[in-house]
Amino acid sequence: MIRRRIAAVMLVFICLMPVARVIAQSQESMHPEIGNTLVVATKLIEPFVMEDDAGNLTGFSVDLWNEIARRIGVNFKWMRYETVGELIDAVESRQTDAAIAAISITAEREQRIDFSKDYYNSGLIIAVPNSSLAPFQLIEAFLNPALLQIFAGFALIILIAAHIYWLIERNRDPNVPPGYIKGIWEGIWWATVTVTTVGYGDRTPHGFAGRVMAIIWMFMGLFLIANFTASVTSVVTVQHIQGTINDIGDLRGRMVVTLEGSTSQQALTSRGITPVTRRTAEEAYAILLDGDAEAIVYDAPVLMYFAANEGAGQVNLVGNIFDPESYGIALAQDSVYREIINLAILNIMEDGTYDDIYATYFGMQP
């Protein structure tokens, strides 16, 4: 009897050994070996990833990852890239274990990689140069048909005055050429410097009729210049008002810049807007500030930080935040680190550490 019981126990033990092995392997996959050195991809994007004077990385996402790594007990090294697309590619190909910067979680990206729990709520916003008119807008304003008509009318009046001056003075003033072309040119010169009140004095009417004409022309000039200035100002002002950008619907037909491979590029193209793209935010900012773009569309926290710091007084944010999105840590498909990273993020949010990191870079609690 005793032998049978011992045999039965041994049989049960033998049968349970494969099950125990599977459970142990599952637990190991849920809790990877502590002490591994992870390769973490990132890109510079203020205020999430920045570089200090010593060349060390800092920023909201950097500080968050440092805290996550400390809590899960892993060492890591940074690997830098320039675009979000490069970060996604590096994680998908498993060149890196993770990527963190300001990476938006999208369905398209989720098909290629995994994401951690979201750790920052974002969205898109528009920034425009803080100037009355950018250079390309001035060119557009002066090519306005209404303004061209004003210029043409003013030129016609000067041409008429030049003819009258030439007809009166050609036989009285030896300095006025009797020939038509040269004579009219002298008349244009005299009419222009007189009406603009420059009056060099190198050309003055000699006869009575010429001087009467000059007096009339000078008084007319006061009215013409005032009217001309008012008309030009009105047209340029209207052009500026019509060119105001208030929301994404105003960007059609405009020169807009954004970052290559970003969700903002997708948002623009899906609305029929073809933007100019640059690889880095700094390159995009340069285009905007140089007057080569009318607006930049990108992640709201990034543009808000730029407008409050480096771009202060140079750019304005317009409209509301649109196309809400969230940032997450990019991980390879079925990454063994996903669960423990998610647990660390939840703990960081619950114990107040997240609020402290947030306040460091954004000045207020989320």
pTM of the model: 0.63
DSSP state of 112: T
> What domains, with CATH codes, occur in the chain?
31-119+328-362 (3.40.190.10), 123-325 (3.40.190.10)
Alpha-carbon distance of 97 to 95, in angstroms, equals 7
* Stronger pLDDT, 201 or 116, i.e. the higher one: 116
The predicted-structure confidence for 12-68, as pLDDT tens digits, reads as follows 445 444 444 443 444 343 444 445 799 999 999 999 999 999 999 999 999 999 999
Residues in a beta bridge with 39: 77
Residues 6+ apart with CB under 8 A from 309: 46
Residue type for position 48: F
Which range among 99-103, 126-130, 148-152, 245-249 shows the weakest confidence by mean pLDDT?
148-152
Residues 6+ apart with CB under 8 A from 25: none
Which pLDDT belongs to residue 141? 60
The predicted-structure confidence for 66-101, as pLDDT tens digits, reads as follows 999 999 999 999 999 999 999 999 999 999 999 999
Model confidence at 211: pLDDT above 90: no
pLDDT band for 279, please (50, 70, 90 cuts). very high
Residues in a beta bridge with 316: 128
Q: Cβ distance 335 to 97 under 8 Å?
A: yes
* Mean pLDDT of the 282-289 span: 94
Which pLDDT belongs to residue 110? 95
pLDDT band for 165, please (50, 70, 90 cuts). confident
Q: Cβ distance 63 to 357 under 8 Å?
A: yes
